[in-house]
Amino acid sequence: MDEIKEYLPMLIPIVVVQLSLLVYVLVHILKHDHYKTGSRALWLAVVLIGMNFVGPVIYLIFGRDEE
């Protein structure tokens, strides 16, 4: 338990960034209809399955269409 308390100050900012990135990407997917590749269902699956940084970053690189 003491080890968790030791690393907690470093983990909190990482978790906040991860959750805010996830929320941003999910809102973007649900609001927009056009993507570079794929469909809404595909990108929701990619983001939710790769819930860490990987899924949202993949969407921002390959799926987000500049409007």
Q: Please determine, for residue 26, whether its predicted confidence score (pLDDT) is greater than 70.
A: yes
Q: Please determine, for residue 27, whether its predicted confidence score (pLDDT) is greater than 90.
A: yes
Q: How many CB atoms lie within 10 A of CB 35?
A: 17
Full-model pTM? 0.77
**Predicted local confidence at residue 51, as pLDDT:** 67
* Rounded percentage of the chain residues whose pLDDT exceeds 70: 94
* Rounded percentage of the chain residues whose pLDDT exceeds 90: 19
Question: What does the mean pLDDT of the chain come to?
Answer: 85
Average pLDDT over residues 39-47: 89
